[in-house]
Structure 1
Amino acid sequence: MLVQKEFNLTQIDEIATAILAQSKHKIIAFHGEMGVGKTTLIKVLAKQLGVHELTNSPTFSIVNEYRTPNDIVYHFDCYRIEDEVEAYDIGIEDYLYSDAWCFIEWPERIKNLLPNDITEVTIEKINEQLRSIRLKN
Structure 2
Amino acid sequence: MPDPLVQERTLQISSKAELPKAAADFLAFIGQKRIILFEGEMAAGKTTFIKAICAAKGVQEHVSSPTFALVNEYEAARGEVIYHFDFYRIDDPAEALDIGVLEYFHSGNLCLIEWPSKIENLLPEEGVIVSIATGPQDEARTIQMRVYGGNDGKA
TM-score by length of 1: 0.94
State the aligned residue count. 137
**Identical aligned residues as a percent:** 40
Unaligned regions of 5+ residues in structure 1, if any? none
The residue type paired with residue 146 of structure 2 is: K
Q: 2:62 aligns with which of 54, 57, 60?
A: 54
- Counterpart Cα distance in 2 of 1:8 and 1:74: 28
Which is higher, the Rg of structure 1 or of structure 2?
2
Give the equivalent residue in structure 2 for 1:103. Answer: 112
**Residue of structure 1 equivalent to 2:144:** 134
Residue type of the alignment partner of 1:14: K
Q: How does 1:1-137 map to 2 (within 5 A)?
A: 3-9=9-15, 10-24=17-31, 25-68=33-76, 69-127=78-136, 128-137=138-147
The 8 Å contact of residues 11 and 22 in structure 2, kept in 1 or not, is answered as no
Provide the C-alpha distance between the structure 1 equivalents of 2:115 and 2:12, rounded to a whole number of angstroms: 21
Runs of 4 or more consecutive aligned structure 1 residues displaced over 3 Å after TM superposition: none
Post-superposition CA distance 1:40-76 (Å, at most 9, x none): 1101111111211111110111100011223100000
1: distance between equivalents of 2:11 and 2:74?
29
Greater RCO (Cα-Cα under 8 Å, separation 6 or more):
1
Question: Take 1:122 and 1:14, find their aligned partners in 2: how far apart are those partners?
Answer: 17
- Letter of the structure 1 residue corresponding to residue 86 of structure 2: D
The unaligned stretches of length 5 or more in structure 2 are 3-7, 148-155
Look up the SS of the partner of 2:79 in the other structure: coil
Deviation at 1:80, TM superposition (A): 0.6
- Structure 2 distance, partners of 1:129, 1:56, is 19
TM-score, reference length from structure 2: 0.84
